[in-house]
Structure 1
């Protein structure tokens, strides 16, 4: 299973460069999800990561299609409140577009309108969604069965819960807090990558 890491919006650009440079070899994709940074800040962040040896092919820009296009990235992730996936695919056919979904209906809609992958969550209880009930494994399985495009699980994922994901037809897991709040992000990322690759039948 693939490992997607998602930034948490709590770090300065300099801290992000250091963390992502340390962890990118463990991850299949790194989502730049920085709601408080301007387009200009995002573009210079991407440039700095690139200069530090982080391949642009691994970077996914959350929401900011403009910053993705101007940075030469080929992947974007659209939150449910963001642009319509069909419009983005029409305007920028070269972009790989992921959509964040919370229901089977949203999943089917996005898949039918050209999404390349879905992020579904939050699957497990997570401190970043305090008080919101987790959507759970059975819902994740239902989403994965309802579409033919890859599905990535997000929300409360740590090494202990990865075995619960193994029997579900998903492409991988996306992780924010476990890595970006860790004392040693590179250790946390490695641990997750090992767990995801262990005992996988596919």
Structure 2
């Protein structure tokens, strides 16, 4: 399937140095077209209010909004897609939402294959590089494992973990169909830096996509 965009921006309000909605608005203006609202620690009412606000921001840009699944908010928010943690079986959610965009977090080949078999539209695979938002989290997979997975999986792989404008294109070269960024944007100290990260990442991804087209 075609993903909403080659760049997925994942929210983390606790890591954000600036107001989250201002960061997202600026990222959308810079070209971001796919946002994943994470914020799994928020109480359901506050999370619902945030999702409503993000949808309102995204709508004028035609951007896609995905939402991380939580047990206290098991109903899919209208106009969004689901992103599932590795411990939630994809098949049970797919049965309830046959036409919605459903992704899954994975950290190994076995998890990725199980998600694909269950009906996921895509998986995130992490951490590819040392995580910017979670230093010391997990053993980095590197481009070699990313390439091996992307080359064999039946659905798109989104590279996650330590993604920056400098390594985004390398992930596409390794077979990922998109990259996910969180720390590089959430950790920005000003809105100009948000614009820089998003635009530079998009340029890197677009350049790689263009070269791939020429090669074929």
TM-score by length of 1: 0.87
- In structure 2, do the counterparts of structure 1 residues 68 and 11 end up closer, same or farther at CA, with 3 Å as the change threshold? farther
| Structure 1 equivalent of residue 27 of structure 2 | 23
| Structure 2 equivalent of residue 146 of structure 1 | 152
Correspondence for 2:184 among 155, 178, 202: 178
Number of residue pairs matched by the alignment: 200
Measured in 1, the distance between the counterparts of 2:33 and 2:154 equals 20
| Structure 2 equivalent of residue 187 of structure 1 | 196
Structure 2 stretches lacking a partner, 5+ long: none
Root-mean-square deviation (CA, aligned residues, Å) is 2.4
Instruction: Give the alignment of 1:1-202 within 5 angstroms.
Output: 2-10=6-14, 15-25=19-29, 26-54=31-59, 58-64=64-70, 67=73, 69=75, 71-81=77-87, 83-131=88-136, 132-183=138-189, 184-200=193-209, 201-202=212-213
Q: C-alpha offsets along residues 66-94 of structure 1, whole Å, 9 cap, x if unaligned?
A: 7584531331111113x211000112223
- In structure 2, do the counterparts of structure 1 residues 43 and 135 end up closer, same or farther at CA, with 3 Å as the change threshold? same
- Does the CA contact (< 8 Å) of 1:9 and 1:35 recur in 2? no
Measured in 2, the distance between the counterparts of 1:21 and 1:76 equals 21
- In structure 2, do the counterparts of structure 1 residues 87 and 137 end up closer, same or farther at CA, with 3 Å as the change threshold? same
Q: C-alpha offsets along residues 111-156 of structure 1, whole Å, 9 cap, x if unaligned?
A: 1110110100100112434333311111111111221111100000
Q: C-alpha offsets along residues 16-70 of structure 1, whole Å, 9 cap, x if unaligned?
A: 2211111124223111110221221121112223334546751110123875845
TM-score by length of 2: 0.82
